[in-house]
Chain A
Amino acid sequence: MSEQQSQIPVTVLTGYLGSGKTTLLNRILSEDHGKRYAVIVNEFGEIGIDNDLIVESDEEIYEMNNGCVCCTVRGDLVRVVEGLTRRPGRFDAIIVETTGLADPAPVAQTFFMDEDVRAKTRLDAVVALVDAKHLPLRLKDSNEAQDQIAFADVVVLNKTDLVTPQELAEVEATIRAINPSARIHRTERARVALSEVLDRGAFDLQRALDNDPHFLDHDHPDHVCGPDCDHDHEHDHHHHHHAPSAIHDIGVTSVSLRGGEMDPRKFFPWIEKITQMDGPNILRLKGIIAFRDDPDRYVVQGVHMIVEGDHQRPWKEGEKRESRLVFIGRELDAERLRRTFEACQA
């Protein structure tokens, strides 16, 4: 794991103007947490703190010349990250700030698809700041707002003081409907504990699901929230029962699948085929798979057509050996996904 440790963690911060992103960024840069950050922004000027390591870069989305429309990287990030990592020791982590209009996929994919960036850095988490009051409107009129929530590992639901409890519950249910696996934090003035947004290891297969012992349980009828549940326990758990979202016309949906033990000879060709065929529509996927005769849990995650998997840890005694997988995307055929997933069972 020594290679892992030398890789610099990268947090991607998404959110519209007015969502509180700058407030959060300024807190990260000014609070006394003993870490130094390099920040990559699209435009100077929004950040009030005079930090030496703020780099402005023009968003450059480059399609890879391999015929796959979803294989895109942020060319400017490739360059800036290369420059920053030639002088390690100046900072402990990188934050990439994207505008509300940015597509988060190329940002995330840069950290998987570019071999140089991948060798030096690791994507820690995608954090989306959303404004509780204006989110419903944003979701209606822009794909980007939906994509940012779909991509997020952590959603900071900000400005909760500007909405009624009823509105807040609806907004949260909407976020849950788009992305059942994200951690949601309700805040005012972006006052979320920084440990909840930084150094999350959300893309680290070894850590991601340990941080979330009840992965995909929060929406399960059997799940009773306990002290080890790492999600906000407020009010009466609106997010547990998915009342259909009050907001219509949202293209991004999620499909949560559960099954028993899987046959790896069926599962791997299946996930490969699904991501090849539906890659452009699949924004994120995450899962824990129980393979027959395998003592270890297998975890998978993906962005569009990129799928990664690894053995994580042994199944604990008494732990139910079941497979869980969530797809977040557009035009997902839930029935077909469920049927073909179940056909991979051993």
Chain B
Amino acid sequence: MPTVAPLDLDAHCLACAWLDDIPHFALADGMVHRLDHGHKWVKAHDGLLCAAADGARLVTGGEDGRVMAVTSDGHARCLAELGRKWIGSVATGPQGAVAFASGRLAHVRLADGNTRTFQHPRSVEGLAFAPKGMRLAVARYNGATLHFAAAEGRPTELEWAGAHTGVTFSPDGRFLVTTMQENALHGWKLADGKHMRMAGYPAKVKSFSWSAKGRWLATSGAPAAIVWPFHAKDGPMGKTPLELGTRGDTMVTQVCCHPTEEIAAIGYGDGMILAARFADGKEVLLRRAGKGAVTAMRWDGEGRRLAFGCETGECGVVDISA
């Protein structure tokens, strides 16, 4: 039976992360809490807007125009300070690279401290690093732009009408997928630029997660987790997605695929969390409904424990091995 160790906090939880095997919870008020032989915390910002983790660091962007790196020893170090403008998006990449965006500028900070800036005609909405090769994807109005993060070279422009708000590479680097202002995803097969339209959602897609080896992409935005197959040559085109953990009375707000098994944790608008297996759709209850929507989830490296957080500040860790 899964057991839940609750951690009741008092602000919207934006992200969960495991740093050196310690669960961290980044809250919108700017505090980053952790469970390390007791409840500890560090203030990263006055107002935290976005977060991304690379296993060793939780990188956060704030209303204070700063980019911070929080480590499991409780330190919060300032990586960049951009003035009064909000930091809208952050991403972590290979070899210690970090990207962050404010308005129409995207910045890359390499491990040696060197930074590069990329100007765009419209706002940078989302950022993601490719798994290899130091390429940075920027989600923007009418498409996505791929920059060489560390080297000179013309960026690649991928066009598709509409506002693209978030972006992710498939773990094998073959596909780029964006979330949109519309209730849809868009994808490109990077080898030939072929388009993939993934529409039909009743709500905006705000959470997405690649399964082990990138075979599937699980997404929120519907009363079920919508899981697209990416193991075929052309990705999900012409295929029907799986619908897992369908509920009649609420929506899926968060998804997080297990690191090794083809299983996803599914968080709902009422705070419930289920785990569902892709092969047969079998479900296990991980957490009962709470006071508000699940807004963050992350498995530990072994896939034994799931850290979660809600919009109401209810956080915790579910242990499925017990």
Contacts of A73 in B (CB 8 A): 181
Contact with B along A61-80 (1 / 0, CB 8 A): 01111100000010110111
A-B contact count (CB 8 A): 62
B29 close to A62 (CB less than 8 A)? no
Name the prevailing secondary structure of the A interface residues.
mixed
Contacts of A65 in B (CB 8 A): 161-163, 180-182, 184
Contact with A along B12-40 (1 / 0, CB 8 A): 10100000000000001100000000000
Contacts of A87 in B (CB 8 A): 11-12, 28-29, 47
A62 close to B104 (CB less than 8 A)? no
Q: Is A116 an interface residue (CB 8 A)?
A: yes
Q: Please tell me which stretch of B51-59, B84-92, B242-250, B298-306 contacts chain A, meaning at least 4 of its Cβ atoms lie within 8 angstroms of it.
A: B84-92
B28 close to A78 (CB less than 8 A)? no
Q: Is A58 an interface residue (CB 8 A)?
A: yes
B204 close to A116 (CB less than 8 A)? yes
A56 close to B85 (CB less than 8 A)? yes
Q: Is B49 an interface residue (CB 8 A)?
A: yes
Residue of A nearest to B104 (CB): A58
Q: Is A29 an interface residue (CB 8 A)?
A: no
Q: How far is the CA of A215 from the CA of B193 in the complex (A)?
A: 56
Contacts of B29 in A (CB 8 A): 87
Residue of B nearest to A44 (CB): B84
Q: Is A249 an interface residue (CB 8 A)?
A: no
B162 close to A60 (CB less than 8 A)? no
A58 and B103 in contact, given A75-B123, A75-B141 (Cβ under 8 angstroms): yes
Q: Is B125 an interface residue (CB 8 A)?
A: yes
Q: Is B63 an interface residue (CB 8 A)?
A: yes
A64 and B14 in contact, given A75-B125, A76-B123, A80-B86 (Cβ under 8 angstroms): no
Interface residues on chain B, number (Cβ under 8 Å): 29
Contact with A along B158-175 (1 / 0, CB 8 A): 000111010000000000
Residue of A nearest to B181 (CB): A62
Residue of B nearest to A78 (CB): B181
Residue of A nearest to B65 (CB): A56
A86 close to B181 (CB less than 8 A)? no
- The answer, among A57, A66, A76, A83, for a CB contact under 8 Å with B182, is A66
How many whole Å from A104's CB to the nearest CB in chain B?
A: 19
How many whole Å from A322's CB to the nearest CB in chain B?
A: 39
Q: How far is the CA of A114 from the CA of B206 in the complex (A)?
A: 13
Q: Is B122 an interface residue (CB 8 A)?
A: yes
B181 close to A83 (CB less than 8 A)? no
How many whole Å from B54's CB to the nearest CB in chain A?
A: 23
Residue of B nearest to A64 (CB): B182
How many whole Å from A220's CB to the nearest CB in chain B?
A: 42
Q: Is A335 an interface residue (CB 8 A)?
A: no
Q: Is B203 an interface residue (CB 8 A)?
A: yes
A83 close to B86 (CB less than 8 A)? yes
How many whole Å from A66's CB to the nearest CB in chain B?
A: 7
Contacts of B86 in A (CB 8 A): 55-57, 80, 83
Contacts of B163 in A (CB 8 A): 62, 65, 75
Q: How far is the CA of A44 from the CA of B162 in the complex (A)?
A: 28
Residue of A nearest to B199 (CB): A65
Within B128-171, the residues touching A (CB, 8 Å) are 141, 161-163, 165
A60 and B122 in contact, given A115-B203, A115-B204, A116-B204 (Cβ under 8 angstroms): yes
Question: Could you list 21 examples of A-B contacts with CB < 8 Å?
Answer: A55-B86, A56-B84, A56-B85, A56-B86, A57-B86, A58-B103, A58-B104, A60-B122, A63-B161, A64-B182, A65-B161, A75-B125, A78-B181, A79-B88, A79-B125, A80-B86, A86-B12, A86-B14, A86-B28, A87-B11, A87-B47
Which 10 A-B residue pairs are closest in the complex by CB-CB distance? A65-B162, A62-B163, A86-B28, A86-B12, A60-B123, A58-B103, A87-B28, A65-B161, A83-B49, A75-B163
Beyond the given A65-B180, A87-B47, could you list 7 further A-B residue pairs with CB under 8 A, ordered by the A residue number?
A56-B85, A56-B86, A58-B123, A62-B141, A62-B181, A76-B123, A86-B14
